[in-house]
Amino acid sequence: MADSVTDRFLRYVVIDTQSDAKSPTQPSTMKQKDLGRLLVEELLAIGVSDAHLDEHGYVYGTIPATTTKNNVPVVCFTAHMDTAPDFSGTGVKPQVIKNYQGGNIQLVGDKTQFIKVAEHPVLKDLIGHDIVTSDGTTLLGADDKAGIAEIISAAEFLIDNPDIKHGAIRILFTTDEEIGRGVDKVDLKKLGADFAYTLDGETAGTIEDETFSADAVEIDIKGVAIHPGFAYGKMENAIRIAGAIIDGLPKDMAPETTKGRDGFIHPTGISGVMEKANLSFIIRDFTEEGLKTKEALLEKIAGEVLAGYPGSSYTFTVKEQYRNMKVVLDKHPEIVEFAVEAIRRAGMEPVRGSIRGGTDGSRLSFMGLPCPNIFAGGHAFHSPLEFVSSQDMEKAVKTIVELAKLWEERA
């Protein structure tokens, strides 16, 4: 099973699937469909006879039930095909370190890059594992091609072993998760699932039932433009105004200064000329109250800065992105409890966790499809230091199989 899931993973990561937040289309990049078409071919080849790619780049498929029980819930396993725009995903050259024996890992494509044990202590738990990395010049794509490989490997195992009793299982691979549009066009009626699990987490054994709540904020500034030679007492430079707002942000409320259950205000983009400027932010907190408090603080900072520029104005626009899925999942505790049991059956000690981010499961849960997140085994996502263990991917495959069995047994 480890060879199968690793071989699949190595095929998938060399296909560039970066999403693009500036694109208005779904998928945001047509190259995501290149992977989608390959996945459909592989699903058809293993016996998922209804596998298909839709116009939005989503891949759907079904593993038929093998049970005679008619009350087994329909479970969906889902992962996303795109990789993050944060770092290049073009020309990925995966490296496999067989039987890792400890110590820092130097990346062969950029020998200044090291995956350091001091920064990634999970490496201490991976002695003897086969570890896959990039060459250091691109990200790897374990987020979330590891999840895709694990779901397809589990599907093949279940189809090849029809004596394993399980209900109908739906497969869904999405596009554009990394830019917050992962489930915008999902057809839940066609999917026909009662609930789902994303395979999009990190450390083996982890089940996550909580995410940040998230909003985006845009601040548009209109300044006063005039020839700089005649600007005294008249010019109000929108770029300077934007810089003053950024400078006014609390230093202890940034992603780089927060951890655990702390939220943050994070500037993600700035553009402008003398006359006008734009600031983009993402706001994160585990509670709705915390989210609104941070948005009010940001607007207060903007207002105070603009008060010093009487000829200028601004608009402050908040867009909801996703909400903490725990609100929904707490109403369906068995979904997480069965995942905990499946992880234990697969030979691991389960760990309940919270995500300092979001997954497709956040949005799906509020769309009516409760969806916690299961580990996929990757680490250091969105960076050239990304890595994943073959053995941990195998454990994820076993977890999927055990989950399928559990829901049939308990029906």
pLDDT tens by residue, 280-297: 999 999 999 999 999 999
Rounded alpha-carbon distances, angstroms, from residue 398 to 156, 202, 204, 236, 409: 12, 16, 11, 62, 16
Mean residue pLDDT of the chain comes to: 96
With 0-12 CB in 10 A as exposed, 13-18 as middle and 19+ as buried, what is 49? exposed
Cβ atoms of 19 and 28 closer than 8 Å: yes
Q: How far apart are CA 141 and CA 398, in angstroms?
A: 21
Q: In this predicted structure, what is the pLDDT of residue 369?
A: 97
Is 213-322 a CATH 3.30.420.40 domain? no
Catalytically annotated residues: 82, 177
Domain boundaries, the chain: 2-211+324-409, 213-322
Per-residue tens of pLDDT for the chain, all 411 residues: 446 999 999 999 999 999 999 999 999 999 999 999 999 999 999 999 999 999 999 999 999 999 999 999 999 999 999 999 999 999 999 999 999 999 999 999 999 999 999 999 999 999 999 999 999 999 999 999 999 999 999 999 999 999 999 999 999 999 999 998 999 999 999 999 999 999 999 999 999 999 999 999 999 999 999 999 999 999 999 999 999 999 999 999 999 999 999 999 999 999 999 999 999 999 999 999 999 999 999 999 999 999 999 999 999 999 999 999 999 999 999 999 999 999 999 999 999 999 998 889 999 999 999 999 999 999 999 999 999 999 999 999 999 999 999 999 999
For residue range 390-403, list pLDDT tens digits in order. 999 999 999 999 99
Tell me whether domains 2-211+324-409 and 213-322 share a fold: no
Structure tokens given for 12: 């998938």
With 0-12 CB in 10 A as exposed, 13-18 as middle and 19+ as buried, what is 364? buried
For residue range 344-364, list pLDDT tens digits in order. 999 999 999 999 988 899 999
Cβ atoms of 281 and 267 closer than 8 Å: yes
Cβ atoms of 223 and 241 closer than 8 Å: yes
> What amino acid occupies position 102?
G
Cα R_g (the chain), whole angstroms: 23
Q: Which of 168, 188, 152 is nearest to 407 (CA)?
A: 168
Q: In this predicted structure, what is the pLDDT of residue 3?
A: 61
Look up the pTM and report it: 0.91
With 0-12 CB in 10 A as exposed, 13-18 as middle and 19+ as buried, what is 189? exposed
- Choose which CATH entry (3.20.20.70, 3.50.50.60, 3.90.70.10, 3.40.630.10) describes domain 2-211+324-409: 3.40.630.10
Structure tokens given for 228: 């700089």
Q: In this predicted structure, what is the pLDDT of residue 2?
A: 47
Cβ atoms of 213 and 287 closer than 8 Å: yes
Instruction: Please state whether the peptide bond connecting residue 27 to the residue before it is cis, i.e. omega within 30 degrees of 0.
Output: yes
